[in-house]
C-alpha cells in the first residue's frame, strides 16, 4: 500500500539563487496570467475553450526559456485544474466557487517542479534542484528510505522567508508510521467541537484553544494601522509590511503547532475517532466568523483524516443534522427546547444533569456502536 505525504523545510538560498528564484516566480506568474487572459478572450469571441501550451509562449516570450520548463508546465496544469474545479462546482449548483483569478506578485510566491532521474535529491544539509544546484536547507526531519521524492514546491512567503515542500510517495504506509503510534490504543473516542473550548472528548477531556489571533489582535491592528499611514513605494512602508507579514506568520505557526500536536495525539491513542460533520462555511458567515477562523476546525479535521491513515486509525464523520447535543446519552430522550446558550441541562425523563459538550461527545461515541459498527457487521 502506498500514499503521499510531504515534508516542509526552510531553505537558505544565496544571492544568486534568490535572483533565480525571483525569475522563476515571475515567469510562472506571467505564464499563468497570460494563459488565463487568452482563455477568457478566446471564449468571449468564440464561445469555445482554448487549449494552451507553454511551448507556444516560449516563442513569443524568449525569457521563459531561461527557467525550469517543468515549473512552466505545472503552471499550465494548475490553471487547467482551477478551470476544472470551477466548472465541476457550477454543475453541482455550488455558486460559491469563484472563477480562476490572476496571480499577484504581492502575495505568496510559489513554483512546482518534478523529480526526473534523481534531479531532486537531499544530500547532507542541502537539496539539489534542477537548473540551480544545491540549496542549503534546515533538515529537521529525514526522508525515509521507503519514500520516493515526486516533486517539490519552492515558496517565498510574504515575510521574505523561503521554504520548500517535498512531496514523497510512501511505498509501505503500514510499516512507515505505525511504529510511532501507541500499540495499546483505546477502542473509540467521540469528539465534539466546541466554541467555548476547542473540543471536548467522550472521556471528559476539555481542550482549550490557544486563541492565537485574539492574543495578537491588538498588536496586529497597531502594525496594520502604521502600515496604512506609510507612503506607497517607500522603504519604511516595505519595513512596515514585513512586520505585519511576520506577525501573521507567527499566528499561523502557533495555530498549526497546536493542531498538529492535538491531531497526532488522537490518531496515536485511539482506533476509531467519531466527529460531527460541521458546515464550517456557514458558521464563518454567521456571528462567530472570526472565532471559527481562528479555531481552525477545518484544518484539524483535515489533519485527523490523513494522519489516521498513517497510524491505522479510522475517522468517522456523523451527519451534521444528528442532534448530538439535544439527546440524553442516558435514556435517549431528545430535548427540543435546548438553546445554544444552554451550557448545562437536565433531562426531563431521567433527571440526569448534562454538560452540553460532554453529552454530545458521548452521543457521538454511542452512535459508533449503534450505527457504524452495526452496519459494518462487527457488532
Residue 138 in this model has a pLDDT that exceeds 60: yes
Residue 129 has pLDDT above 90, yes or no: yes
- How far is the C-alpha of 2 from the C-alpha of 168, rounded, in Å? 10
pLDDT of residue 177: 55
Please write the tens of the pLDDT for every residue from 337-373: 888 888 898 998 898 899 999 999 999 999 988 877 7
Query: What's the mean pLDDT when you consider all of the chain?
Result: 88
- Same domain for 231 and 163, yes or no, is no
Same domain? 200 vs 164: no
Judged by average pLDDT, the poorest of 134-138, 167-171, 211-215, 280-284 is 280-284
User: Is 357 marked active-site?
Assistant: yes
Q: Which residue has the higher pLDDT, 287 or 208?
A: 208
**C-alpha closest to that of 1 among 236, 172, 240:** 172
Local structure of residue 48 (DSSP, 8 states): S
Mean pLDDT along residues 77-94: 86
Whether the pLDDT of residue 147 is over 70: the answer is yes
Pick from 175, 190, 224: which residue ends a domain?
Answer: 175
Q: What is the pLDDT of residue 289?
A: 60
* Residue 107, helix vs strand vs coil: coil
Is the pLDDT assigned to residue 192 strictly greater than 50?
A: yes
Q: Known catalytic residue: 59?
A: no
* Residue where a domain terminates, one of 148, 175, 202: 175
What percentage of residues in the chain have a pLDDT greater than 70? 89
Same domain? 197 vs 157: no
pLDDT digits (tens, 9 = 90+) for 36-45: 999 999 988 9
**Residue 265: CB partners within 8 Å, gap ≥ 6?**
none
Same domain, 171 and 185: no
Backbone φ and ψ for 10, nearest 5 degrees, come out as: -90, 140
**DSSP structure string for 54-67:** HHHHHHH-GGGGGS
Residue range 109-116: mean pLDDT, rounded: 95
Helices (H) and strands (E) in the chain, counts: 11, 14
**For residue 128, how far is the Cα from the chain centroid?**
26
124 and 57 fall within a common domain: yes
Whether pLDDT at 72 is above 90: yes
The predicted model gives 251-261 an average pLDDT of: 93
Domain residues for the domain of 145 are 3-175
Looking at the structure, tell me whether residues 217 and 150 fall in a common domain. Answer: no
186 and 171 within one domain? no
319 included as an active-site residue: no
What Å distances lie between residue 301 and 192, 262, 307, CA to CA? 12, 11, 10
Cα separation values, 160 from 214, 222, 231, Å: 25, 21, 20
pLDDT at 379: 45
294: which strand partners?
Answer: none
Domain count, the chain: 2
222-237 pLDDT tens trace: 999 999 999 998 999 9
The whole-number average pLDDT for the span 209-227 is 91
Judge if 105 and 238 occupy the same domain. Answer: no
Out of 175, 208, 238, pick the residue that ends a domain.
Answer: 175
Determine the 3-state secondary structure of 111 from DSSP.
strand
Q: Give φ, ψ of 133 to 5 degrees.
A: 90, -150
Contacts with 174 (C-beta within 8 Å, 6 or more apart), sequence order: 1, 312
Per the residue annotation, which of 177, 192, 294, 309 is the catalytic one? Answer: 192
Same domain, 115 and 137: yes
Class of residue 295 by CB neighbours under 10 A (exposed 0-12, middle 13-18, buried 19+): buried
CB-CB neighbours of 55 under 10 Å: 12
Mean pLDDT, residues 103-126: 93
Straight-line distance from the first to the last Cα atom of the chain, in angstroms, rounded to the nearest whole number: 27
Cell numbers for 198? 476547542
pLDDT band at 281 (very low <50, low <70, confident <90, very high): low
In this structure, the answer to whether residues 194 and 340 fall within a common structural domain is yes
Residues β-bridged to residue 238: none
Round to whole Å and give the CA distance between 195 and 355.
14
User: Based on the domain organization, do 253 and 162 belong to the same domain?
Assistant: no
Is 87 found in the same domain as 37?
yes
Model pTM score = 0.79
The C-alpha atoms of residue 263 and residue 279 are separated, in whole angstroms, by: 20
Catalytic, out of 276, 294, 299, 355: 276
Amino acid at each position: 500500500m502506498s500514499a503521499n505525504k510531504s515534508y516542509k523545510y526552510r531553505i537558505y538560498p544565496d544571492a544568486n539563487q534568490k535572483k533565480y528564484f525571483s525569475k522563476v516566480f515571475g515567469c510562472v506568474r506571467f505564464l499563468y496570467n497570460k494563459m488565463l487572459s487568452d482563455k477568457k478572450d478566446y471564449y468571449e469571441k468564440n464561445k469555445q475553450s482554448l487549449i494552451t501550451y507553454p511551448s507556444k509562449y516560449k516563442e513569443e516570450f524568449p525569457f521563459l526559456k531561461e527557467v525550469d520548463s517543468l515549473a512552466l508546465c505545472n503552471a499550465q496544469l494548475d490553471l487547467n485544474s482551477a478551470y476544472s474545479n470551477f466548472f465541476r462546482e457550477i454543475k453541482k449548483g455550488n455558486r460559491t466557487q469563484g472563477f480562476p483569478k490572476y496571480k499577484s506578485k504581492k502575495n505568496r510566491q510559489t513554483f512546482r517542479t518534478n523529480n526526473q532521474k534523481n534531479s531532486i535529491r537531499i544530500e547532507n544539509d542541502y537539496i539539489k534542484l534542477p537548473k540551480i544546484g544545491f540549496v542549503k536547507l534546515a533538515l529537521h526531519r529525514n526522508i525515509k528510505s521507503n519514500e520516493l521524492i515526486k516533486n517539490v514546491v519552492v515558496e517565498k512567503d510574504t515575510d521574505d522567508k523561503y521554504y520548500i515542500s517535498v512531496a514523497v510517495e510512501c511505498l509501505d504506509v503500514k510499516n512507515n508510521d505505525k511504529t510511532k503510534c501507541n500499540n495499546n490504543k483505546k477502542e473509540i473516542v467521540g469528539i465534539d467541537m466546541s466554541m467555548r473550548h476547542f473540543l471536548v472528548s467522550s472521556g471528559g477531556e476539555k481542550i482549550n484553544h490557544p486563541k492565537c489571533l485574539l492574543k495578537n489582535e491588538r498588536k496586529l491592528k497597531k502594525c496594520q494601522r502604521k502600515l496604512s499611514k506609510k507612503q506607497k513605494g517607500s522603504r519604511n512602508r516595505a519595513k512596515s509590511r514585513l512586520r505585519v507579514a511576520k506577525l501573521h506568520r507567527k499566528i499561523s505557526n502557533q495555530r498549526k503547532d497546536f493542531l498538529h500536536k492535538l491531531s497526532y495525539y488522537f490518531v496515536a491513542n485511539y482506533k476509531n475517532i467519531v466527529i460531527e460533520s460541521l458546515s464550517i462555511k456557514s458558521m464563518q458567515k454567521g456571528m462567530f466568523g472570526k472565532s471559527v477562523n481562528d479555531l481552525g476546525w477545518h484544518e484539524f479535521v483535515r489533519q485527523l483524516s490523513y494522519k489516521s491513515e498513517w497510524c491505522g486509525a479510522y475517522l468517522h464523520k456523523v451527519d451534521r443534522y444528528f442532534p448530538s447535543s439535544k439527546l440524553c446519552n442516558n435514556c435517549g430522550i431528545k430535548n427540543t427546547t435546548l438553546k445554544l446558550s444552554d451550557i448545562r441541562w437536565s433531562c426531563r425523563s431521567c433527571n440526569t444533569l448534562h454538560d452540553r459538550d460532554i453529552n454530545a461527545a458521548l452521543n457521538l461515541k454511542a452512535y459508533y456502536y449503534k450505527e457504524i459498527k452495526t452496519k459494518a457487521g462487527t457488532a
